[in-house]
Structure 1
Amino acid sequence: MKPVLWMKSSCTTCRNAKAKLAELGLEVEVRDYFKKPLEAGELEHLLPADPAPMLGTKSPKYKELGLKDRHLSKAEAISLMVQDNNLLKRPILVHPKGTVIGFDAEAYARLVR
């Protein structure tokens, strides 16, 4: 299975993550989920039972909905993320050895060892 980097191409952090992966020699399939939004079924497979770590806390929608003080079920999070992909923290690297949420150069390096 080829690793997949879920990202937004206009996001500087996502572009930095992509560059770091290339620097490490890790070939990934890039999925820009703003050009091709994630569907509920994809999110079902991607999100853990507790979706809190996957929420983009810097999203205006996150603040608007007052999600900081709420505990969302996986189903609620999926429903909201289908409506607004900005609620999904980015980038997300899905690798056979594990999933890395957000840009974490050290975690990326551990995946190639």
Structure 2
Amino acid sequence: MKPVLWMKSSCTTCRNARAKLAELGIDVEVRDYFKRPLEAAELEALLPTDPAPMLGTKSPKYKELGLKDRPLTKAEAIALMVADNNLLKRPILVHPKGVVIGFDPAAYAALLS
């Protein structure tokens, strides 16, 4: 399975992640989920039981909905993320050795071992 980088092409952090992966020699398929939004089934397969680490806390919608103090079930998080994919923390690297949420160069390098 080829690794997939789920990202937003206009996001600087996502572009930095893509560049770091290229620098490390990790070839990825890029999925711009703002051009081709994630479906509920894809999120269901990816999200942990506690979806909190996958929530984009800088999203205006996150603040508007008061999600900081409101724990969500996985089903609630999926419904919100499908409705507004800005709620999904980015980028997300789906690699055969694991999933890395956010830009984490050390975690990317660890995938090489």
Q: What TM-score do the two structures reach when normalised by structure 2?
A: 0.99
Equivalences for 1:1-113 in 2 at 5 Å? 1-113=1-113
- The separation in 2 between residues aligned to 1:6 and 1:108, in whole angstroms, is 14
Query: Could you say what secondary structure the match of 1:112 adopts?
Result: coil
- The separation in 2 between residues aligned to 1:30 and 1:47, in whole angstroms, is 19
**What one-letter code is carried by the residue in structure 1 that aligns with 2:57?**
T
RMSD: 0.4
**What one-letter code is carried by the residue in structure 1 that aligns with 2:47?**
L
**What one-letter code is carried by the residue in structure 1 that aligns with 2:2?**
K
Alignment gaps of 5+ in structure 2 = none
- Post-superposition Cα deviations, 1:18-52, rounded to whole Å, max 9, x if no partner, equal 00000000000100000000010111011111100
Structure 1 runs of 4+ aligned residues shifted over 4 Å read none
- The separation in 2 between residues aligned to 1:5 and 1:48, in whole angstroms, is 18
How many residues align structurally?
A: 113
The offset of 1:63, in angstroms, is: 0.1
- Post-superposition Cα deviations, 1:37-70, rounded to whole Å, max 9, x if no partner, equal 0010111011111100000000000000000000
Q: What TM-score do the two structures reach when normalised by structure 1?
A: 0.99
